Chains A and B, each alone.
Chain A
Amino acid sequence: MLDLDLLHWIVGEGVKAGCSFVEVRYQELERQVVSAENGVLKEFSSRLQSGLSIRVVYGGAWGFASTTFVEREPAKDALGRAISIARASSRKAKPVRIAEVAAARGRVASEYRIDPFDVDPESKVKLIMSVNREAGKLEGVANSYTALGALRDTRAYVNSEGAELLVEVRAVGFLQRSVAKYAGSLESVGDSESRVAGYEFIESRDWTNYAVDVTELAREAVRAKAAKPGAFPVVLDNEVIGLMLHEAFGHASEGDGVEAGASILKGMLGRRVASELVTVIDEGVVEGGYFVPYDDEGVRKEKTIVVEEGVLKGYLHSRATAAVLGGQPTGNARAQDYSHTPIVRQTNYYMAPGDWRVEELFEDVKYGYYVRGRGARGGEVNPGLGTFTFRVGPSYVIRKGEVGELVRAVTISGYILETLKEVDAVARDLKVTTSVFGACGKAGQRVHVGDGGPHVRVKRMVVGGGR
């Protein structure tokens, strides 16, 4: 149970004990996943996690401790642990510097009509089972997996500078993964749709149609040829540009990586890093994205312009990286949950829309690929070198300005600063998406993010055939 008085009490105890800064975070996180595979209910997994953490500055050093026992005595014990950590570290740590911010106060909740945790389990099971069976019925389907996910994340934040915040997020999502078999080979396509919303989002859609679409794509892809490997002009869809920006550029723009010298963007402020058509934004609350009105240091998350018309304008910051690198805190200090310290993370990272119509992007392409995100499997990047490789979804050939036949899941790879300079057309169709199923991992912490952009054309990109 949320008890703001308890949080204020701990802050007071910390100050009394000699801490120069104290912040207390409380969280209640409820998650549910209902899944079916090949017509059998596979799992109805549900959990409710709650706990609090205390971060202090004592003797010029950070200390941090957490507990799932939300009561005075264990909280006091946690405070003691945090202080003893700070005391042990102070001899071996750089004195803490944190940028000033105005203490924020407020209560915000994402919009919803029907709380997904109020919906009875039976109707969820019914929905999942019926969609799963319909998708599995199609000819040549070797496996059909369907899942429904829901989360409620309530976070309270109080610190010794007078901040007091309460942020509540509800999100739901639907996932379909189908494996199609043809002539001895298998192709798997998975896709999901999530919204920061209540159960009304689930009720508003025809999920059988959706699951059948995903399955049809797998059935087509298993019959499709592999792409011809080489460097080609490509049109990237909203999902692929989002994935690429988030992974290969977004992580490099995080202040902690820049500070540690592990980013290709170190020392690049004010320099050209992309074509002038490219503007990159990180924004806390955006249509289709995850909901981050404040970060886990109680800083308001505004719209941060990272790249403006091709020029690097700023990094993403926590209060600490802003102080060290000389910027303003941008509201990007986020923690997986109460048991983790906040680190610099993206919120909703996207490319701003341009003025091309989507159809126009294809017109001048003699031979290339329309690279699609549905069915993408992720990849690997090195933010220190700027290299990336992604396994994206089944994609299409572009021939003489027309979208042609489907090819199997392809691999795209490159060097992000070169790729972004090769962007020669940006469409107007901005789309940002998030996921309740997946999360972005960094330093052992996973957080929900959003990403996206408009359709984008890149003059040259290495495309691998994939298998």
Chain B
Amino acid sequence: MKDMLLEACRLAVEEAEKRGASEAEALGTYTRLLTAKMGLEGIKEFSSSESAWLGVRVIVNKRVAIYAVTSLDRRSVEKAVEVALEIAKASSEDRDWRGLPRKLGFTRVEGVYDRATAEVTAEEIVEKLEILSSSVRDAKLVEAGLASRASHAAVVNSYADSLYRKATSAFCWAEAIYEEAGQQSTGSEHDLARRLSDLKIEEVGKVAAERARRFLGAKPIETGALDVVFVNKQAAMITQLMISSAVSALEVQEGRSPLRGKLGEEVASEQFTVIDDGTLPRGVGSREFDDEGVPTRRNIIIERGVLRAFLYDSYTAFREERESTGNAHRAPWSRPRPAPNNLLVKPGKGELEELVRDVQRGLVVYDTIGAWLSNPVSGAFTATVSQGMLVVDGEEREPVKGVIIVGNFWEMVKQKLVAVGSDVAHVGASYSPSLCFRGLTIAGR
């Protein structure tokens, strides 16, 4: 695979330069994916796919264009270059264009590729799915799913011609339903890891079933201000949603980040430290180099509440006459954008129970819907609680749903964050412990 991808990429760059590009870059990818879903009556869907992409970026006198194809044969590559050049010539000049990155290379990253995950058989997937579905106990299985992926990428540009990386990942999920006395309630859980063998398969089934049972009969509570504990995965989802784009240099430069102009300032409580780490061992967002071939690294974004840095790809970095931080992300058909590799909220002290014990009257949030309606540009946060527990005197008492939490995320982390737990979990490549906030607005009955 390595040779095929590198060859196609080299051919694209060579052809582009030969036909008049001042600079050229090619990103080649190859992905193999196995996905299976099981319901109460057995396997529902099971598919295997392999796909290749070649994304060509050409520059003609500061005019940048991208074209992507799935065919890697010589004719298709030449055609792709031809179309890209045609688009470049029709485009307007980008005055901020300084050039493609020249300092390409690798960072050593541990545990991102696992042969057993890459070569898993259909039988093994079925076996694991059976374990997963049978771990859904005392509730009815709606769906259990398992996926394993192997992905390869190569980057070649006018200044470097041999960057190649490979990685694996595995994902599983379960959804359960519980019915009692005419009422019903659903629960779900998922896990993502670099290795199939690292997935907590039984735990996922168990938690989905427990959630379904536990939140039966949940109802709204009165409108008011309450302490809110976001359980680790919810905290990870929210920080990803509100921080990723706010710390992207592109959003900052274009005036779409609430953190613009705040470097060196206190933007969060002293307990809040956020790091981007593309080198985290076995991290699901870890990689040796980014989508432009720039080596990844560890970037401290917020240090004890103080905003230290933004994340850059080469375009946004060169605009400020600095170097990329190794955070370029792109699909083969679109231009790169800076985004975190692994976003880590540094853990503090205490498991979830300890955080809850210190709450007199509050809400523990296990699941929400509609958080995507939040606005990372202004920091306005909103989410409807679908699974919450009312806390009275440090104890989780009764299930809650259908109330809306509203607030400004940056005000929350600066003025209302009272505790950061030690129980780190991740959603996608966002890692966070449980977080406790004082006095958030809850719109309820």
Contact = CB atoms under 8 A, between A and B. Distances in A.
Contacts of B70: 48-51, 68
Interface string A40-65: 11011111111101000000011111
B49 A66 contact: yes
B68 A65 contact: no
B48 A85 contact: yes
B43 interface: yes
A63 B52 contact: no
Contact of A91 (B50, B66, B126, B335): B126
A89 B130 CA distance: 11
Interface in A31-45: 31, 40-41, 43-45
B109 interface: no
B265 interface: no
B47 A84 contact: no
A259 B52 CA distance: 35
Contacts of A51: 51, 70
Interface stretch (B6-14, B87-95, B232-240, B434-442): B87-95
A462 interface: no
A341 B47 contact: yes
Interface string B64-75: 011111110000
A87 interface: yes
Interface residues of B, number: 45
B411 interface: no
Interface stretch (A121-129, A236-244, A296-304, A365-373): A121-129
A421 interface: no
Nearest to A81: B48
Contacts of B332: 47
B224 interface: no
Given A41-B91, A121-B91, A65 B47 contact: yes
Contacts of A68: 50-53, 70-71
Interface in B32-64: 36, 38-39, 41-53
B51 A82 contact: no
Contact of B47 (A40, A64, A124): A64
A46 to B, nearest CB: 5
Contacts of B43: 61, 89, 92-93
B334 interface: yes
A14 to B, nearest CB: 15
B49 A65 contact: yes
Given A45-B66, A47-B332, A122 B48 contact: no
A45 B129 CA distance: 39
Given A47-B333, A70-B71, A65 B91 contact: no
A270 B38 CA distance: 31
B120 to A, nearest CB: 11
A89 B46 contact: yes
Contacts of A73: none
Interface in B103-143: 121-123, 125-126, 129-130, 142
B86 interface: yes
A61 B44 CA distance: 10
- The listed residue with most B CB atoms (<10 A of its CB), out of A31, A44, A66, is A44
Contacts of B333: 31, 45-47
Interface string A60-104: 011111111110001000100110110111011110000000000
Contacts of A53: 49
Contacts of B65: 44
Closest 9 CB pairs of A and B: A88-B122, A121-B90, A122-B90, A47-B333, A93-B43, A68-B70, A47-B68, A64-B47, A93-B42
Interface of A: 31, 40-41, 43-51, 53, 61-70, 74, 78, 81-82, 84-85, 87-89, 91-94, 120-122, 124-125, 129, 260, 339-341, 380
7 contacts: A47-B68, A51-B51, A88-B126, A89-B46, A120-B90, A121-B89, A380-B369
Given A120-B86, A339-B47, 9 more contacts: A47-B333, A48-B69, A51-B70, A61-B43, A62-B45, A66-B49, A70-B71, A91-B126, A125-B90
